[in-house]
Amino acid sequence: MEKTFLMVKPDGVQRNLIGEIVSRFEKKGFQLVGAKLMSIPQELAEKHYGEHKERPFFGELVEFITSGPVFAMVWEGENVIATARTMMGATNPKDSLPGTIRGDFAATVGKNIIHGSDSPESAEREIGLFFKEEELVSYSKLIAEWIY
Ligand code: RTP
Ligand code: MG
């Protein structure tokens, strides 16, 4: 079953949005298979955002993501990678629609509440960066097979 890496960024944690965000993915029908509140070490932040190394905002991005605790999660379900991106909304909150997480809660591009893997390759890479194999659990719920 497909898995993705999602993370409530420091602004989302500070604004008490962990529960709201977890709740949206639960209600959608996805399954939480790993989660932890953590501070991101500098080196992990630089690796995680490695694709943006040459961008002018890289320093700011790493500084922000290491500025306070984040809530790191792994979610599972059919098409969870793309669906989670849709539920998050556009990167820049000026373009993210109401009803999406960024559309409802974020106002600036640098502080946009949530991170989500953008492809199967990123998901595998990011899950591996943030979680050990034994931190992920596999379990089934005793309900309809289309609720993941
Ligand atoms: P994320 O990686 O955090 O889930 O966000 P994303 O895929 O929607 O956007 P991405 O292009 O990967 O950019 C990563 C984060 O960098 C910040 N950003 N700032 N100042 C700027 O122009 C700018 N552009 C991007 C955003 O916080 C974005 O989430
Ligand atoms: Mg990204």
15: Cβ contacts below 8 Å, ≥ 6 apart: 105, 113
Cα 14 to middle of ligand 1, angstroms: 19
CA 29 to chain centre: 16
Asked if 117 and 2 count as a contact pair (C-beta separation under 8 A), the reply is no
Better-predicted residue by pLDDT, 98 or 148:
98
What pTM did the predictor assign? 0.94
Question: What token pair was written down for 104?
Answer: 């409802």
ipTM associated with this complex: 0.93
What is the pLDDT, as a whole number, of residue 74?
A: 98
Which tens digit of pLDDT belongs to each residue from 46-97?
999 999 999 999 999 999 999 999 999 999 999 999 999 999 999 999 999 9
Cα 93 to middle of ligand 1, angstroms: 11
- The set of protein residues with a Cβ atom below 6 angstroms from ligand 1 is 52, 57, 61, 91, 109-110, 112, 115-116, 118
115 catalytic? Reply is: yes
Q: Whose CA is nearest to atom 2 of ligand 1?
A: 115
* Average pLDDT of the residues of the chain: 95
127: Cβ contacts below 8 Å, ≥ 6 apart: 3, 4, 5, 34, 74, 117, 136
